[in-house]
Amino acid sequence: MRSLRLAMAQINCTVGDLEGNFKKIVSYLRRAREQGADIVVFPELAVTGYPPEDLLLKPSFIDDNLSVLNEIISESRGIAAVVGFVDKLEDIYNAAAFISDGKLIDVYHKTYLPNYGVFDEYRYFQAGKGYPVYDLYGIKIGVNICEDIWMPNGPLRSQALSGAEVIININASPYYKGKWKFRRHMLTARASDNLAIIAYNNMVGGQDELVFDGHGMIMNEQGKLIAQGPQFREALVVVDLDMESVFHARLIDPRSRVERYMHEDKRQRFVSVPAVPQPAREHMMPPEQTEPLEAMEEVFQALVLGTRDYVRKNGFSKVVVSLSGGIDSSIVAVVAVEAVGKENVQGTFFPFRYTSKESSDDAYRLAANLGIPITEIPIAPAYESMEAMLKDAFAGRERDVTEENLQARIRGNLLMALSNKFGWLVLTTGNKSEMSTGYATLYGDMAGGFAVIKDVPKTMVFELCRHVNRRYGKEVIPARVITKAPSAELRPGQKDSDSLPPYETLDPILKAYIEEDRDLDEMAQLGFDPEAVKRVIRLVDISEYKRRQSPPGIKITPRALGRDRRFPITNRYRSF
């Protein structure tokens, strides 16, 4: 019986870490060979990490990446492999090397270069123009990269019509909540439309604003999911592909046979892979399939992986979180502990005259539940000296938001002083609702290295907290933190709802405006209160300057506030 043992290496590469990526690739290649795989597949740009951004404009970076590819090739005795790297001809290409038994057989160049959202591939790459089909032990294999497979008439279609029975698609596909469903629907359609097995392999790991969620999938020629990789974890998924079944499906489908007969494509290229003696081996049982994570657990794990990788890949060991007793700092502390371990998380508490007893109790209770220490420093002495210093300059002026910002900025200074002295990375605690509306103090609560929940709307922060307590089977986050009315505690009796619409109103408006680019008329038609919409649009538009100076945070929605959304600061457009 014709079969192919395919291994998908769903690995966590680091941008620029050519040596580390090399070691990881070779170690997975060896494991795949030990398991008798005919071919092992690595993610898009596995050699360089993704996205390498302007590193790609450095000739030495391109050359070093080629040297690493050559070392990988020489390690590939007795197995075939598909490895993502940057190819260099008269220009550079986002490429997949087809390697077999210590030799480079061929190179595929990505055809469709995404240049929207977080992607800038036209900035760097030339588009490929060839659709190779490889013949490995008489099995026809098409290779393509990421965006390519989203095009129904792209290389996949041509490769399948030229006889490819297995399509290998390698990815560095950034996570957002629920995105896997779109991938799965698309792959189901592509596999069944083309009567081809599809092996969709994805990178895993965090890189600045992005998290790659792994979750590779293998669909059979009926579009049925036959194997998948875990979400947010490295894995080697090994499967025996039943090629007879593909043959049979194509044989009994008269339309597909006519279409293949009629098909001609100048971009086609057939490449025969020299035969390697296949090892004797037993048929493998298909790997166990796990259900995809529940939505809040999925987001939680994305935040954990994004935070862990930002911390570790940037060479930090410890992080510090400013606890306020509120819900945002609470969830960030929980994510931090899960990401780097409680022994690597330091809490701080910086009370002032507006800090309630409840906030203090809640912050300490959370820290106790998590097992992390708190450094408490009351900010009154600094506040009072600053107030005195500014007295003359402020003579005759009313108190206003200045004095509130001052409190936040003194806290920011203390946090940065601790960070500088002890080498701790500061995790900031602002959520997407705040970042969108500018309800945050620049250089105050926005001061820090990484903004864990920057793309999590406040209403989802509540959901996440409830999920966390269910997840750990105990009240990690004190119940009151979740039930009390949110407040920045920068003046007596302050509530977030003094400055913003209630979050249940605000968050859907923000989603419509930021993620869906809807205007006032459309939102009014959708039933939103036009006055609330106007207020929110105005807040979002005028706070672009703050977002521009905010630390990076993890994308978990279809449009995050970072490289995903690029607005001018100087902008007089008002959509109403």
CB 231 within 8 A of CB 293: yes
> Smaller CB distance to a second copy: residue 34 or 517?
517
Q: Is 568 in the site for a second copy (CB under 8 A)?
A: yes
Site string for a second copy, 153-192 (x = CB under 8 A): ----------------------------------------
> Smaller CB distance to a second copy: residue 195 or 363?
363
> Smaller CB distance to a second copy: residue 30 or 565?
565
Q: Is 123 in the site for a second copy (CB under 8 A)?
A: yes
Considering only residues 528 to 547 of the shown chain, the ones binding a second copy according to CB under 8 A are 545
Cα 421 from Cα 417, distance rounded (Å): 6
**Which residue of the set 24, 44, 298, 432 is catalytic?**
44
Cα 74 from Cα 96, distance rounded (Å): 16
Considering only residues 356 to 385 of the shown chain, the ones binding a second copy according to CB under 8 A are 375, 377-379, 381-382, 384-385
Given 271, 276, 386, 524, the residue binding a second copy (CB under 8 A): 386
Q: Is 347 in the site for a second copy (CB under 8 A)?
A: no
Minimum CB distance to a second copy, residue 23 (Å) = 13
Minimum CB distance to a second copy, residue 102 (Å) = 27
Given 76, 111, 194, 207, the residue binding a second copy (CB under 8 A): 207
Q: Residue 338: helix, strand or coil by DSSP?
A: helix
Cα 345 from Cα 67, distance rounded (Å): 39
Q: Is 376 a catalytic residue?
A: no
> Cis ω on the peptide bond leading into residue 230 (within 30° of 0)?
no
- Give residues with Cβ within 8 angstroms of 399, minimum separation 6: none
- Paired with 425 in beta bridges are 319
Considering only residues 40 to 99 of the shown chain, the ones binding a second copy according to CB under 8 A are 51-55, 57-61, 64
Cα 41 from Cα 50, distance rounded (Å): 16
Cα 93 from Cα 531, distance rounded (Å): 49
Minimum CB distance to a second copy, residue 300 (Å) = 21
Site string for a second copy, 281-320 (x = CB under 8 A): ----------------------------xx--xx------
Q: Is 526 in the site for a second copy (CB under 8 A)?
A: no
CB 142 within 8 A of CB 105: no
> Cis ω on the peptide bond leading into residue 51 (within 30° of 0)?
yes
Cα 344 from Cα 317, distance rounded (Å): 7
Minimum CB distance to a second copy, residue 482 (Å) = 30
> Smaller CB distance to a second copy: residue 60 or 483?
60
Minimum CB distance to a second copy, residue 80 (Å) = 29
**Token pair for residue 311?**
């911390």
Cα 12 from Cα 206, distance rounded (Å): 8
In single-letter form, the type of residue at position 419 comes to S
DSSP one-letter code for 553: B
Minimum CB distance to a second copy, residue 545 (Å) = 6
Angle at CA of residue 120, ends 115 and 124, nearest 5°: 115
Cα 124 from Cα 318, distance rounded (Å): 35
Q: Is 44 a catalytic residue?
A: yes
> Smaller CB distance to a second copy: residue 186 or 377?
377
Q: Is 24 a catalytic residue?
A: no
Given 8, 15, 540, 560, the residue binding a second copy (CB under 8 A): 15
Q: Is 18 in the site for a second copy (CB under 8 A)?
A: yes
**Which residue of the set 24, 121, 146, 209 is catalytic?**
146
Element (H, E) at 237: strand 235-242
Minimum CB distance to a second copy, residue 280 (Å) = 41
Q: Is 395 in the site for a second copy (CB under 8 A)?
A: no
**Which residue of the set 24, 75, 110, 511 is catalytic?**
110
Q: Is 122 in the site for a second copy (CB under 8 A)?
A: yes
Count the site residues for a second copy by CB under 8 A.
Answer: 83
DSSP string, 58-77: -HHHHHHHHHHHHHHHHT-T
**Token pair for residue 306?**
């994004």
Q: Residue 93: helix, strand or coil by DSSP?
A: strand
Given 129, 266, 357, 421, the residue binding a second copy (CB under 8 A): 421
In single-letter form, the type of residue at position 376 comes to E
Please give the positions annotated as active site: 44, 110, 146
